[in-house]
Amino acid sequence: DAMVIQNPRYQVTQFGKPVTLSCSQTLNHNVMYWYQQKSSQAPKLLFHYYDKDFNNEADTPDNFQSRRPNTSFCFLDIRSPGLGDAAMYLCATSRTPGQGETQYFGPGTRLLVL
C-alpha cells in the first residue's frame, strides 16, 4: 500500500545532542511537509519541500533543518534539542502544491528530550 512512513516512532535524546528524524513516502508526491505538534495543541508547520525547493516558515527556529535527497525521503534535523522541542513530529505529503489537495500524514515520531 502507498503510504507515508516515519522512523523511528519514538526517539529519546539528550539535551543538546543532535537528532535526525526520517520520513519516506511511496505515494510519489511532490510536496513533503514537517509539522511539530505539542501535547494538546494543533500541528504547526515547520517547513516544506516542493520537489527540491525548500520553504521555511518564518517562525521556525534555526535549530531545525531539513534535507530532501530525493523524491521519496525527507529528514528533519534538530541540531541542539532543548526541552521545549519535545513533541510529536509529523511528516505529510501532497501531490501538487497550490491545488489544495489533501495532505497525507505519517504516523509521527514522538521525541523526548532528557
Q: Which residue of 7, 38, 57, 84 would you call a contact of another protein, by CB under 8 A?
A: 57
Max alpha carbon distance in the chain (Å)?
A: 41
Q: Which of 18, 37, 34 is nearest to 78 (CA)?
A: 18
Give least dist CB 98 to another protein, A.
4
Interface segment toward another protein; rule CB under 8 A; list 18-26, 59-67, 69-77, 94-102: 94-102
Could you please report the per-residue DSSP string of 48-104? Answer: EEETTEEEE-TTS-TTEEEE-SSSSEEEEEESS--GGG-EEEEEEEESSTTTTPPPE
Q: Binding marks (x or -) toward another protein, 25..44, rule CB under 8 A?
A: ------x-x------xxxxx
Give least dist CB 78 to another protein, A.
19
Q: Which residue of 78, 87, 90, 113 would you call a contact of another protein, by CB under 8 A?
A: 90
Number of residues lying near another protein (CB under 8 A): 27
Listed in sequence order, the residues at least 6 apart from 62 whose beta carbon sits closer than 8 Å to its beta carbon are none
Place of cell 535527497: 69
Residues making contact with another protein (CB under 8 A): 31, 33, 40-45, 48, 50, 55, 57, 90, 92, 94, 97-98, 100-108, 110
